[in-house]
Amino acid sequence: MADSAIIQNILNPPVLFFFLGMGVIIFKSDLVIPEALSKFFSMYLLFAIGFKGGHELYKTPFSAEHALTLLACSVMATLVPIYAYYILKIKLEKHNAAALAGSFGSISAVTFVTAGAYLHNLNVEYGGFIVAGMALMESPAIVIAVILDRLSKNKANGGGSINWKALLHEALFGSSIYLLVGALIVGYLTGDSGWNAEKPFTEDLFKGILTFFLLDMGISAAKRFKELTHVGFFLIAAAILLMIINAGVGLILTKVIGMPEGDALMFVVLCASASYIAVPAAMKDMIPEANPSIYLTVALSIVFPINIVLGIPLYHYLVKAIM
């Protein structure tokens, strides 16, 4: 049942360390994780999942199902920020609606990694091409969010031209996507020999570093809880609604395509997550009028905790129910 899976997921060490990180702020502990270490944890996770995905691609013949899944990833990455924007601008100023829609249209690599650890504990496999799908889903939302913002500016006052060179460079060569795709390519090109050489680093250390990273994320999320009073009831309700819609559409697509259990869960997790690293970094430069306390707080303090605590086991339960 879903409730037992949720309890089992909460009792998973990385998730418990997320709560432990929140306790640092709640109980005013002096525990601090240096920014350089936090950056390393993030880079390591992107490298490890990219490299593993590349190796899985090397082992797995490309099929029609894989092509349909990658197409579904592209479709979701394009559509989600558009309909999210029109839902959010009901109450939000258009700059903030565009930036937050971009977060929902993109993905959270850490939520993806946590779901992978959840499946690993259950001895359920997922395909390496899903990592390629994750890479496909990260960048389009950045481009679409900026286009929506510029279109609103043009409509309002005839201004707001798009710097396409800077926009596409950020979307294609931003640090997260560059490391993820680069590691994917290296993992594919080096095959079994590369995997055997890197396995002690990419797999044996993976869960321990994920645990430390979620400790850090717990601290970051708790720091922003106070800002939830500023984002208001509408944003909390809209965030939950968008998670439900995105997960629901993702579930329908997994059924239509006929994805196996592990691939289906990872796809739904990608659909339901929101970016709090790549998109906020891009929005800071591309839509400077948007308020970071809105798009960053919603993604990090609402969507991320709900997904890693309740969402992952619930999505898994639903995936199995419709198979």
- Residue-wise pLDDT for 226-256, tens only, equals 777 767 889 999 999 999 999 999 999 999 9
271 confidence band (pLDDT: 50, 70, 90) = very high
- The conformation of residue 51, written as its DSSP 8-state character, comes to H
In this predicted structure, what is the pLDDT of residue 159? 53
The helix/strand/coil state of 45 is: helix
> Which domains does the chain show, CATH number per domain?
1-322 (1.20.1530.20)
Write out pLDDT tens, residues 50-77: 898 888 888 877 888 889 999 999 999 9
Most confident of 44-58, 144-158, 164-178, 216-230: 44-58
Read off the pLDDT of each residue in 250-273 and give the average, rounded to a whole number. Answer: 96
- Please tell me the distance from the alpha carbon of residue 78 to that of residue 67, in angstroms, as a whole number: 17
Average pLDDT score, the chain: 88
Angle between helices 129-138 and 64-88 (to 10 degrees): 30
- Pairwise CA distance, residues 50 & 131, whole Å: 7
pLDDT of 141 over the 60 cut: yes
Q: Is 70 exceeded by the pLDDT of residue 155?
A: no
pLDDT digits (tens, 9 = 90+) for 123-138: 999 988 898 888 888 8
Q: Tell me the CA end-to-end span of the chain in Å, nearest whole number.
A: 15
Closest CA to 48 of 201, 165, 177, 161: 201
